[in-house]
Amino acid sequence: MNNKPLLESGKYYHIYNRGNNGQNIFFDPENYTFFLNRFHQYISPFCDTIAWVLLKNHFHILVYVKPFEEIKIEKLEYTATEIPKKIDVHLQFGHFFNSYAKAINKRYNRTGSLFEKNFERKEVPTIAYFKKLIHYIHFNPVKHGFSDYIWDYPWSSYQSIISHKPTKLNRKFVTELFKNEDYFKLYHLGEKDYSDINEFIIEF
């Protein structure tokens, strides 16, 4: 039975999922781009994205669930119904994961579950923990041996935050959190002690 709490509006969450039995969920570079495009279609109308990283067999995303009044219902596309009677962000994540999994199974002629059955989420009650949590997310590729440096890994929000190109990420929120771009870069040099955010991070 799934006893995980539903996602509530006006709250911040650390979202995590991985491949079934720890298997890969990304097989080629275009899979990462496809995942991000589907995420934008299904989730961006409901959530502001603060930080993210995609690795071969798992991902981490930090989001803010928008209040109902900030959601433009008339512009929603990828929902269970044309005009949903209830805004259910949790259900949207389910649609998103199912959509991606079906496309990957078809593309690679595979069967069975792609993801763990239920995605993990941790509510982050205050932004006091956000700097270290954002670092934790961006540091994941280094931690798992996919990159020597945070800034060299292509599939995370790090480069989007320091870029001036258009982005669907809430860059302004992150920039103001770190005061400026230089401090953001400085903060991302080296490892951190994550012991004070253990309750907000997710590992298996």
Longest C-alpha distance within the chain, in Å? 47
**Residue 65 to residue 43: CA distance in whole angstroms:** 9
**Residue 180 to residue 191: CA distance in whole angstroms:** 20
Work out whether strand 58-65 and strand 12-18 pair parallel, antiparallel, or are unpaired.
antiparallel
Is residue 63 within 8 Å of 13, Cβ to Cβ?
A: yes
Q: Using one digit for the tens of pLDDT, what is the confidence trace for 28-83?
A: 999 999 999 999 999 999 999 999 999 999 999 999 999 887 777 666 665 554 55
Q: Using one digit for the tens of pLDDT, what is the confidence trace for 91-124?
A: 889 999 999 999 999 999 998 899 987 889 999 9
Quote the pLDDT of residue 3: 63
Cβ contacts of 72-81, under 8 Å, gap ≥ 24: 72/45, 75/45, 76/45, 77/41, 77/45, 78/41, 78/42
